[in-house]
Structure 1
Amino acid sequence: MIEKFLDGNKRFLEEDFAKDPEHYGPLASSQHPTVLWIGCSDSRVNPERITGAKAGEVFVQRNIGNIVPVHDWNFATVLEYALNHLKVGDIVICGHSDCGAIKGLDHESTDAYIPLWLNNAMEAKRRVDGRMQVPKNPEEEKIRRRLIEIENVGLQLEHLRTYPPVKAAEKEGRVRLHGLYFDLATGELKKIF
């Protein structure tokens, strides 16, 4: 597999990098992204690919379930750097269909870390389950899961607003927050919040 990646890099060098030195040259010494993208680690949801963004346009933080953990030092450093040093003007939280993290909310696990991490999304499941009947068939279960995926984006926006750098930047009008949802079946990216 690594050989495939190295071959892919050769194609990138020939077909993209070498043909656009005006874009890639300055990126060798600095970056000026305009967006902080908080997305899922899912291999099917590559932010640059699904948005058509070029290298240097998006500062990316990905994790299982596009989660914004409350009081997390690692996550806080990403926010602080994006807002205070890169001066991004937009923060996106992007959820997606067929999310394994959301599926995991319904299952007991013997894993050591995943259940603890997923607790950061459990409130989204509670909210959806509190306003709908128990699904009676696979189609209703699919609808329920999609509603939880969407609710989770909203919940993570709430979590994002608990961080002081975000609160200050939003209050001062330096940043706008957005919730997006990517449908794997259709390839469509929609604004939901």
Structure 2
Amino acid sequence: MNIRTHAHTKQQSGQEADAIAIPIAENDQFAYALSSNEAWAGYKNHQNPTFFPKLAAGQSPSILWLGCSDSRVPETTLLGLQPGDVFVHRNIANVISPTDINSSAVIEYAVAHLKVSHIVLCGHTCCGGAAAALGDSRVGGVLDTWLTPLKAIRRDHAEELAAIKDAGDRAIRLAELNVEKGVQNLLANYVVEEHIRTRNIKVHGVVYDIASGKIRDLRVGNASAMPGAGKEMAAPSKMEVLQGNHGVLIFKEGGSAMTVG
């Protein structure tokens, strides 16, 4: 494994601070990820020295995000938010079923204890789980069992789905139907139901378009009548991570930037 050492340079009031050497891995992705974390933590601490101490003191997220495990759909990044803003549960094909104790525990904790104001169930385009559920062959292992709810949705909407000739569009439609079913299950959850009644929390069903980076509100759930529902939304990014030349990382937030390189 080749490791290159770059200087982590901090600028403040027009003066250059001491450089911190950070190893950048050329071949080992995990080592590179650790290096990137070191750079990111240093950048955040430089921008706001109280950021991490405040996070350590506790969390009060306003959003519960229920999404897919797909590596291309990282909720905090695509929403342009920060650590501490979103409580998260992700699984294959963002399945929300009343029989799944894992997601049920997350929902109960987020709603009853963290007092989130919004529940967002997010499907996405290019979903491998949706594509697999549309196929007739077995995936193998526990995945076939896990995808049973999607296959049930496929059966319930067989005529509609069969009328869609393009396989990609058919998978997107199944992903939408899966979100709609998940939202129905959320609204029937006794904890969610109670907090809709007592705190007016909002349940949203959305689909993330991987090709554009935008979120589309499906106008399902109890928040479907809210202003702006049904429109595509591209959240303003609070921080950009740019890949410069020779493995240099550039962190940019607002009008300021810091280079690792």
Q: TM-score scaled by structure 1?
A: 0.91
Partner of 1:78: 106
Which range is displaced more, 107-116 or 97-106? 107-116
Partner of 1:179: 205
Match of 1:54 among 67, 82, 85: 82
Q: CA deviation at 1:135?
A: 4.7
Q: CA deviation at 1:175?
A: 1.3
Query: Does residue 111 in structure 1 map to residue 140 in structure 2?
Result: yes
Structure with greater strand share of residues: 2
Q: CA deviation at 1:124?
A: 3.0
Structure with greater helix share of residues: 1
Match of 2:93 among 65, 84, 107: 65
Structure 1 stretches of 4+ with a deviation exceeding 3 A read 132-136
Report matched runs for 1:84-163 at 5 Å.
Answer: 84-107=112-135, 108-109=137-138, 111-136=140-165, 140-163=166-189
Match of 1:38 among 35, 51, 66: 66
Q: What is the alpha-carbon distance in structure 2 between the residues aligned to residue 89 and residue 106 of structure 1?
A: 34
Q: For each residue in 1:150-188, what CA deviation from the matched residue of structure 2 results, as whole angstroms up to 9, or x when unmatched?
A: 111101111222321112112334311001111111111
Q: CA deviation at 1:132?
A: 4.7
Q: For each residue in 1:36-89, what CA deviation from the matched residue of structure 2 results, as whole angstroms up to 9, or x when unmatched?
A: 000000000000111101110000000000111222222221111101110001
Partner of 2:54: 26
Identity in percent:
29
Contact in 2 for aligned 1:121/1:155 (Cα 8 Å): no
Aligned length: 190
Q: Residue 61 of structure 2: SS of its match in structure 1?
A: coil
Partner of 1:167: 193
Q: What is the alpha-carbon distance in structure 1 between the residues aligned to residue 83 and residue 51 of structure 2?
A: 9
Contact in 2 for aligned 1:32/1:56 (Cα 8 Å): yes
Q: For each residue in 1:124-147, what CA deviation from the matched residue of structure 2 results, as whole angstroms up to 9, or x when unmatched?
A: 3234422254454xxx22221111
Q: What is the alpha-carbon distance in structure 2 between the residues aligned to residue 70 and residue 181 of structure 1?
A: 21
Q: Residue 115 of structure 2: SS of its match in structure 1?
A: coil
Contact in 1 for aligned 2:134/2:151 (Cα 8 Å): no
Q: What is the alpha-carbon distance in structure 1 between the residues aligned to residue 162 and residue 123 of structure 2?
A: 23
Which range is displaced more, 173-182 or 78-87? 173-182
